[in-house]
Amino acid sequence: MAKTKTRFVCQDCGHDAPRWVGQCPGCAAWNTMVEEATPTTVKTPVLRTPKNGGSSPRLAGAYGGTRPQRLQDVSVREQPRLTTGLAEFDRVMGGGIMHGSLTLVAGDPGIGKSTLMTELGRHLAEHTILYVTGEESAQQVKLRAERLGIDPNAFYLFPETNVEAILAAAQDLQPDVMIVDSIQTVFRPDLTSAPGSVTQVRESTAALLDLTKSLPVSTFLVGHVTKAGSIAGPRVLEHMVDTVLYFEGDRHHAYRVLRAMKNRFGAAHEIGVFEMRERGLVEVGNPSALFLAERSYGQSGSVVVCAMEGTRPLLVEVQALVTPASYGTPQRTANGFDARRLQLLLAVLEKREGLRCSQQDVFLNIAGGVRLDEPAVDLAVALAVASSFRDVPADSSTVVAGEVGLGGEIRAVSRVEQRLAEARHLGFEQVLLPKANTKNLEVPNGLTLLPVNRLGQALDAVL
């Protein structure tokens, strides 16, 4: 039986409440609860026994014929993956697109999500692709595909937003890959709330998830990100899908980073780097060289870090500018780095090394528009700030990696060998790294290590 009831759902996290509240009980955000009417289907399993008319005790109800299985009876077939040949994309997906997987591709409007999905047409030309477009007309998608030079036979276009029609079309066509652009435009006609609302996004995704697993088809859902940075619609979406990819980058820069935030079939935090060109997205095979291309030599406040993004080392320039504060409260701005982590590092610099930053404006920028949130970036940030504060350039042939503790100690980082190899590969001569990492370490030819225990030693070593 189905009945309609009203409830209030948080636009951020999807938490629901029976009545309106100012603050979401789930994520503590203010003014995010909106009213939604949703039919709730109540299915109560009934235990049928000889007493109430059944022959033997068994459950009747909403179960689709599946039974619990012993572990040994579960058949494991090698799941085939579709490799696109777009190496950056395949790596982020964990080695290709898993058969029957549901992937969410999230990003700011205009960042290039539709372009990336259209590119799949070029690389999976011998497979059947269904491109459901809810935002653009079929003509618009066709024009883009033409601009990208994609074979006009590459995919089937379906301008539709009704989820039932989409399911029917997919059942009919049996595609290998289905793209839904975007999930915010799709709706279930039996729900009263508007497309893009929490309920619609969640319920449409549930229906598409069912289809993905039952057909099976590899499905990509394109999702927009809100200003606050979360995927519009409920957080619950992230739990429903197998893989969450973020497509990010500065719209004024040509670089785009595709990042796996979650991947049931591969390493999370894996990244792929692309460049947006006139004729589509081009893979960047050596992103470190790209990120260092515009590096400022001999300037204070510039330090090169070797960060690990997933399984890949990445050399990036960290820039800091420290100037006396012109107004009462000094400003702290961090671009591509966690602002609170910057505050913490400033406090450590002040308390442990006597760097009086409290009356200084501090601006931090990770060059190239990438975002780094690995602990090993700490040391480079601290050194860049100190370098700008003292107006002394850091040694430009040195790469830095290390986590900074609250006591000013330098803590070990992961995967040092890979970081060293990347530094060598790009022609750096020295690596400043935590002392704890240097035990039994094989050092590539031509590279000198500068092991440090304390922040003070690191400052002395490069400034």
Q: Which parts of this chain interact with ligand TYD (CB under 6 A)?
A: 107, 109-115, 144, 147-148, 276, 278-280
The half-sphere exposure of 132 on its side-chain side, counting CA atoms within 13 A, is 29
Measured between alpha carbons, how far is 42 from 331 in angstroms, rounded to an integer? 54
Which of ligand TYD, Mg ion, none sits in contact with 345, Cβ below 5 to 8 A by type? Answer: none
Residue with tokens 């006009």: 152
Strand boundaries in 253-351, DSSP class E: 255-263, 271-277, 280-283, 302-309, 312-324, 332-335
Which of Mg ion, ligand TYD, none sits in contact with 111, Cβ below 5 to 8 A by type? Answer: ligand TYD
Least distance between ligand TYD and beta carbon 266 (Å)? 23
Report DSSP letters for 15-67, one per residue: -EESS--SB-TTT--BS-EEEEEEEEE----EEE-GGGT-SS-EEESS--S--
Which of ligand TYD, Mg ion, none sits in contact with 341, Cβ below 5 to 8 A by type? Answer: none
How many C-beta atoms lie closer than 10 Å to residue 16's C-beta?
18
Whichever of 9 and 257 has its CB closer to Mg ion, that residue is 257
Whichever of 115 and 263 has its CB closer to ligand TYD, that residue is 115
Which of ligand TYD, Mg ion, none sits in contact with 276, Cβ below 5 to 8 A by type? Answer: ligand TYD
Measured between alpha carbons, how far is 160 from 170 in angstroms, rounded to an integer? 12
Least distance between Mg ion and beta carbon 177 (Å)? 17
Of 450, 331, 460, 292, which Cα lies nearest the Cα of 387?
Answer: 460
Whichever of 223 and 310 has its CB closer to Mg ion, that residue is 223
Least distance between ligand TYD and beta carbon 146 (Å)? 10
What size, in residues, is the chain? 463
Whichever of 177 and 364 has its CB closer to ligand TYD, that residue is 177
CA distances from 265 to 98, 241, 243, 259, 379 (A): 7, 11, 8, 14, 32
Whichever of 237 and 401 has its CB closer to ligand TYD, that residue is 237
Least distance between ligand TYD and beta carbon 147 (Å)? 6
Least distance between ligand TYD and beta carbon 8 (Å)? 30
Whichever of 94 and 134 has its CB closer to Mg ion, that residue is 134
Least distance between ligand TYD and beta carbon 376 (Å)? 30
Per CB under 5 A, residues contacting Mg ion are 114
φ, ψ (nearest 5 deg) of residue 293 = -60, -35
Which of ligand TYD, Mg ion, none sits in contact with 278, Cβ below 5 to 8 A by type? Answer: ligand TYD
Whichever of 26 and 223 has its CB closer to Mg ion, that residue is 223
Give how far the C-alpha of residue 329 lies from the chain's centroid of Cα atoms, to the nearest Å: 33
Which of Mg ion, ligand TYD, none sits in contact with 204, Cβ below 5 to 8 A by type? Answer: none
Are 163 and 186 in contact by the 8 Å Cβ rule? The answer is yes
Least distance between Mg ion and beta carbon 122 (Å)? 17
